[in-house]
Amino acid sequence: MPSLLYGRRQWKIALSLAIVGALAAPFAFRTYKARPTYSIWVPLTAQEKETLATSLQNSNYCQRKTGNDLLNVICQRDKEKFELGGDYEYYPHWLKYLAVNFGAVVATFVGVFGLAFLVPISIHGLAFLARRYWKWLRA
């Protein structure tokens, strides 16, 4: 009867630790900060092509350097967008975000639940071997 109560108590402790670990997993592994996205190629409209062409002609196709590095980067980005004929738009991928966090929760739950059983059993096994060895030495 004591082993049955011990097993039930160990199971309750393991479950409690696993639940707490699973709830803390996204914060411990920082998966809550993940920002997965997906992209869609969007071609330029005729109006956007005209606007970019005019802007690039005014800047001499980014050959004229201004004192502002930000303007130079924007000019290069506009030039690349014009040459490629479009640009990517990025959107959040909520399903992937949930999958990453759910994976962290499940992995932590299984790991902590398994360790909560494995560690005490290992300690009991080592204690049993130590007692048996001690008896052998004393014989």
For tokens 């707490």, the residue is 20
Q: What are the CA-CA distances from residue 117 to residues 14, 23, 33, 90 (Å)? A: 7, 19, 31, 45
- Whether 99 contacts 105, CB under 8 Å: no
**Does residue 1 surpass a pLDDT of 50?**
no
Look at residue 111 in the predicted model and tell me its pLDDT. 96
- Whether 26 contacts 97, CB under 8 Å: no
**Does residue 18 surpass a pLDDT of 90?**
yes
pTM check: above 0.75 = no
Q: Is 25 exposed, middle or buried (0-12, 13-18, 19+ CB in 10 A)?
A: buried
One DSSP character per residue, 35-69 reads --EEEEEEEPPHHHHHHHHHHHHHTTTTTSPPS-H
Per-residue pLDDT tens digits for 33-76: 999 999 999 999 999 999 988 988 888 878 777 677 888 888 88
Per-residue pLDDT tens digits for 89-109: 999 999 999 999 999 999 999
**Does residue 3 surpass a pLDDT of 60?**
no
Q: How far apart are CA 53 and CA 78, in angstroms?
A: 9
Nearest partner of 36 among 98, 88, 87, judged by Cα = 98
